[in-house]
Structure 1
Amino acid sequence: MSQQNHDKLFSEMMKGIKPMSQDKHHHRKSPKSKVVMEEKQQRQMADTYFSDEYQPAMPDSGPTRYLREGADPFELKKLRRGDYPPELMLDLHGYRAQEARFEIIALIEACRKQHIDCACIMHGIGGGVLKQQVPAWLAQHPDVIAYHQAPLEWGGDGSLLVLVDIGQSEEGWHRR
């Protein structure tokens, strides 16, 4: 049989048949929730900013303190005196080191989003991992201007007041 005969035969067989409508639906992947995306971003930031091996040069005597290079030393003094009341508090009691890193990133991001320049991190009084690691982690974060052991009213030896660079707002630059 020739091709023409095949086409003719096929046309005759298909006479009166209606074409089927398309019934396939292409489902798109549902977008990830904002919370899931923020958690993923915080994990990446924690891995980027914080190294457990890095130990900044800390003063051997006196309270725990840090001042970013090029920052105004008077800011550290104001932190020590309690001139900056913390608007956000983070209690790390009971946290593992990895969880604490994520929480610190979340705290700093919350400070930046809400234009809050001072926060308090409570790591505990004992000689545990967090008491030693939290200051080292904070010294590595580019948005931390300074931190100082908190006055007694905010936790004393077991807490740090952290001064965060909140960047540019409508009014201009803050604490650069």
Structure 2
Amino acid sequence: MSRKKRSVRPEDVHLFQEVVGDVCPLPQDKVPLRPPAPPPAALQRQRDEAQVLVDMLSDNHDPAELETGEELLHWRPGLQHSVLRRLRRGQIPVEAELDLHGMTAAVARAALAEFLRECRIHAVRCVRVIHGKGRGSRNRQPVLKAKLNHWLRQRDEVLAFCTARPVDGGTGAVYVLLKRG
């Protein structure tokens, strides 16, 4: 089967150019079959974040139950979970307070020992110890916080301790629950 080449008449060429008008060539001659896929979306993360918002706006939200990684929390075996929950929520009345701001570690340890001794003598049940957030330290890290965490764990009279609520010093203070008598 042979094909015969047809010749295009000049008036057809002129008509075609008139209809088409000014055109510019495409940068490529390939047409994508479908548009490129959108970037992946972290759907589970979006669901989790939406759930957090719902939970925070609900009546059951308890800020004391959120953790940021800066909280201190320790309790002795046998302590009732409800007592620990009340301590974390700041629902046990604070009867005494010790502020360790500006103290060296050695001075702070001695002050803590004396404070706890006095609390035991006076049958104090719950105290707040302010260790600071470390903004004034060399590395802008809380020096006394880690030491206090260690010291309180060693004390026999300490039943539990946890980071205070924001209104009571937040990550710069702890509530400490002491044994009775």
Instruction: Give the corresponding residue for 1:78.
Output: 86
Deviations 1:123-162 (A, max 9, x none): 0012232011101110110000000101122111100000
For these two proteins, the number of residue pairs brought into alignment is 109
Q: Specify which of 61, 70, 93 is matched with residue 101 of structure 2.
A: 93
Instruction: Give the corresponding residue for 1:12.
Output: none
- Structure 1: where are the runs of 5+ without partners? 1-58, 168-176
Instruction: Give the corresponding residue for 2:163.
Output: 149
The SS at the match of 2:101 is: coil
The answer to whether the aligner puts 1:63 opposite 2:75 as a matched pair is no
AA at the equivalent of 1:158: G
Contact 1:97 1:130 in 2 (8 A): yes
Over aligned residue pairs, what C-alpha RMSD do you find? 1.8
AA at the equivalent of 2:83: E
TM-score, normalised via structure 1 length: 0.58
The SS at the match of 1:66 is: strand
TM-score, normalised via structure 2 length: 0.56
The answer to whether the aligner puts 1:103 opposite 2:111 as a matched pair is yes
Contact 1:67 1:73 in 2 (8 A): no
Matched ranges for 1:1-176 at <5 A:
61=69, 63-126=71-134, 127-167=141-181
CA distance in 2, matches of 1:166, 1:73: 18
Deviations 1:10-35 (A, max 9, x none): xxxxxxxxxxxxxxxxxxxxxxxxxx
Q: What's the CA shift for 1:62?
A: 6.1
- Structure 2: where are the runs of 5+ without partners? 1-66, 135-140
CA distance in 2, matches of 1:60, 1:97: 25
Moved over 4 A (4+): none
